[in-house]
Amino acid sequence: MSTVLKPKPMMKARGARTEGPSAWMVVPALVFFVTFAVVPLLGVVFLSFTNWNGLGAITWAGLESWQTALTDSVTMNALVVTLKIMVFSLLVQVPISLLLGVFTAGGQRYRAVLAVLYFVPLLLSSAAVAIAFKALLDPNFGMGPGLGIPALAQNWLGNPDLVLFVVIFVIAWQFVPFHTLIYQGGVRQIPASFYEAAQIDGAGRMQQFFHITLPQLKYTIITSSTLMVLGSLAYFDLIFILTAGGPGYATRLLPLHMYLTGFRANDMGAASALGVILVVIGLGLALILQRLGGRNRSASQLEGA
């Protein structure tokens, strides 16, 4: 870092004539980020070629860990589960948060009040959300018997056919509020004159929505979807507490599979290989979604990620 810091006195000597701040201002953030994000990122690649149980010595293992990770049928299953959660989450969350964003952007007083309450799930930790839903979904003491609807008194978290959709619902419950906010901001940036013009032309609500609101929200949709897709690669705590990946492997998605392989099965090498896969998928998806935003806006779309 000394080379980076050196220019400082020189810049100062030239004083006010120098345009712009010197590079040292970026150094503290850079040091933190390099030490605890970039170095670990390289480290995960390195560790994927080693054997390590988390305590003892690290030994070179070549491709052994990769072989373990890739030939494990649980890994393939985890990839499928991750993909399912990602796709269904998008399908559920995009329409709901878009519509709620449009709804809350309207100026009516009751909508402003509702918007305040919509935000509440954002205040809860994933641990709290998971514990609350675990109790709520209990077939004997939860919502089902409470409402007196037998159909709701299912073994929601124990049934492998249902559990994935329960998880997708709880994820939506937790994250739709955040995306609603993003859409609300996007809608409020649409110039009112567009709607005035449309109304003079006699366009109804539906026409206004599909011909003005939706096209104008294109970049908001891409920003929000990018966050959702990348977010679905990070759902860990919620599912860990809610289902621990079960029943069986029904909800064991990639980040959870990585954690359990590393910290429960003590195979840090294979877990690192899974970490690398996670990084590659994340980068790939971010690039694809950024492309969808078009070349001109590409810079700001990546920023949205």
Site for other proteins in 43-102 (CB under 8 A): 43-44, 46-47, 52, 54, 95-96, 99-100, 102
> Which of residues 16 and 71 has its CB atom nearest to other proteins in the complex?
16
Q: Which of 75, 89, 93, 223 binds other proteins (CB under 8 A)?
A: 223
Q: Work out whether 184 is an interface residue with other proteins (CB under 8 A).
A: yes
Please say whether the beta carbons of 239 and 166 come within 8 A: no
Binding mask 102-131 for other proteins (x = CB under 8 A): xxxxxxx-xx--xxxxxxxxxxxxxxx--x
Residue 6's region, left for phi above 0, alpha for psi from -120 to 50, else beta, is: alpha
Amino acid 175 reads: F
Q: Which of 154, 155, 208, 298 binds other proteins (CB under 8 A)?
A: 208
Q: Which of 10, 59, 62, 141 binds other proteins (CB under 8 A)?
A: 141
Output the CA–CA distances (angstroms, integers) from residue 123 to 67, 115, 128, 221, in the order listed: 41, 14, 10, 24
Nearest approach in angstroms of CB 179 to other proteins is 9
Stretch that binds other proteins, among 26-34, 59-67, 69-77, 155-163 (CB under 8 A): 26-34
Q: Work out whether 275 is an interface residue with other proteins (CB under 8 A).
A: yes
Q: Work out whether 239 is an interface residue with other proteins (CB under 8 A).
A: no
For 258, phi then psi, to 5°, come to -65, -45
> Which of residues 41 and 76 has its CB atom nearest to other proteins in the complex?
41
Q: Which of 51, 68, 156, 186 binds other proteins (CB under 8 A)?
A: 186
Stretch that binds other proteins, among 59-67, 68-76, 158-166, 203-211 (CB under 8 A): 203-211
Nearest approach in angstroms of CB 197 to other proteins is 10
Distance of CA 250 to the CA centre of its chain: 20
> Which of residues 162 and 305 has its CB atom nearest to other proteins in the complex?
305
Q: Which of 79, 145, 162, 298 binds other proteins (CB under 8 A)?
A: 145
Q: Which of 53, 63, 80, 146 binds other proteins (CB under 8 A)?
A: 146
Rounded Cα gap, residues 97 and 85, in angstroms? 17
Please say whether the beta carbons of 152 and 143 come within 8 A: yes
Nearest approach in angstroms of CB 170 to other proteins is 9
Q: Which of 6, 10, 40, 215 binds other proteins (CB under 8 A)?
A: 40
Nearest approach in angstroms of CB 121 to other proteins is 6
Stretch that binds other proteins, among 59-67, 72-80, 155-163, 236-244 (CB under 8 A): 236-244
Q: Which of 83, 162, 230, 292 binds other proteins (CB under 8 A)?
A: 230
Q: What is the dihedral of CA 178, 183, 189, 190, to 10 degrees?
A: -170
Q: What angle do CA 18, 19, 23 make, to 5 degrees?
A: 85
The encoded tokens of residue 165 equal 């959709």
The site that binds other proteins (CB under 8 A) totals a number of residues, namely 126
Please report which residue ranges of the chain form alpha helices under DSSP H. 2-5, 7-14, 27-33, 39-47, 64-71, 73-105, 109-118, 126-136, 143-147, 163-188, 192-200, 205-208, 214-216, 218-232, 237-242, 254-259, 268-292, 298-304
Helix (H, G, I), strand (E, B) or coil at 191: coil
